[in-house]
């Protein structure tokens, strides 16, 4: 019997869309491509999620990658909270699971600076029974140690736990510890998969 549902945040409970954000800034396609590569797809972003690099250090690293786009990098990174918009179903979904008696948790790769900028948008946060944001523990998905930490921190029984994430490598990481994996392709699909597990 499933008694715990663990959610990823980005692209599950909130829309994480940096391309729309860059469009809203009026960047040309060439500029967008350069900023995406320098910032959002830069390996440095992972260091932010790990909590092993500060916002200031990361910005300097992004600019070093594409110094000719310094102005645009500063603008995009400085307003990147606008990449995040909670999905309309998020609060009701969490509430409905809690009404069914489930414990509801978060396991998410998230940087401290972005969390501080966006936590007010995430109205589902106060409903959670616990959260494991990567920056607080200097580890990220899909590293095995973050799933081990999740299990230890919340005293989970993996066979009674579901993890919902949009990335296959992340749900595979959870499955390696015996947690039921659900790769997220959409709200209705995930709801059906939970129902199939008796939730």
pLDDT digit of tens for each residue in the chain (199 aa)?
A: 999 999 999 999 999 999 999 999 999 999 999 999 999 999 999 999 999 999 999 999 999 999 999 999 999 999 999 999 999 999 999 999 999 999 999 999 999 999 999 999 999 999 999 999 999 999 999 999 999 999 999 999 999 999 999 999 999 999 999 999 999 999 999 999 999 999 9
Contact 6, 107 (CB under 8 A): yes
Count helices and strands in the chain by DSSP H and E runs: 10, 7
Looking up tokens 């299990």 gives 151
pLDDT at 159: 98
Would you call the peptide bond into 74 cis, given omega within 30 degrees of 0 as the criterion?
A: no
**14-16 and 130-133 as β-strands: parallel, antiparallel, unpaired?**
unpaired
pLDDT at 28: 96
pLDDT at 67: 98
| Best CA proximity match to 55, nearest among 31, 73, 69, 71 | 73
pLDDT at 170: 99
What Cα–Cα distance (Å) separates residue 27 from each residue in 4, 35, 79?
43, 9, 14
> Which tokens go with 119?
């936590």
C-alpha to C-alpha distance for 199 and 26, rounded to whole angstroms: 44
Contact 165, 150 (CB under 8 A): no
pLDDT at 75: 98
> Which tokens go with 31?
């500029």
Q: What are the chain's domains?
A: 4-15+84-196 (3.40.50.1000), 26-78 (no CATH)
C-alpha to C-alpha distance for 136 and 170, rounded to whole angstroms: 18
> Which tokens go with 47?
């260091």
What values do phi and psi take at 165, rounded to 5? -150, 150
pTM (two decimals): 0.96
Q: What is the DSSP letter of 10?
A: B
> Which tokens go with 27?
């960047």
Looking up tokens 């930490």 gives 149
Contact 183, 165 (CB under 8 A): yes
Give Cβ neighbours of residue 145 (< 8 Å, ≥ 6 apart): 139
pLDDT at 138: 98
pLDDT at 112: 97
């Amino acid at each position: 019997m499933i008694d715990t549902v663990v959610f990823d945040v980005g692209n599950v409970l909130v829309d994480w869309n940096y391309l729309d954000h860059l469009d809203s800034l009026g960047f040309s396609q060439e500029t967008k491509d350069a900023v995406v590569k320098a910032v959002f797809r830069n390996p440095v972003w992972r260091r932010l999620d790990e909590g092993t690099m500060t916002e200031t250090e990361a910005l300097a690293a992004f600019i070093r990658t594409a110094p000719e786009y310094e102005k645009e990098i500063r603008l995009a990174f400085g307003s990147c909270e606008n990449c995040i918009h909670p999905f309309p179903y998020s609060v009701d979904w969490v509430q409905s699971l809690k009404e069914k008696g489930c414990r509801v948790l978060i396991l998410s790769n998230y940087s401290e600076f972005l969390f501080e900028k966006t936590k007010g948008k995430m109205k589902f946060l106060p409903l959670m029974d616990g959260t494991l944001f990567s920056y607080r523990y200097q580890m990220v998905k899909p590293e095995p140690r973050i799933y081990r930490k999740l299990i230890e921190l919340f005293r989970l029984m993996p066979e009674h736990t579901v993890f919902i994430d949009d990335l296959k490598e992340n749900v595979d990481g959870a499955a390696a510890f015996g947690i039921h994996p659900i790769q997220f392709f959409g709200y209705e699909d995930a709801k059906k998969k939970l129902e199939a597990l008796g939730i």
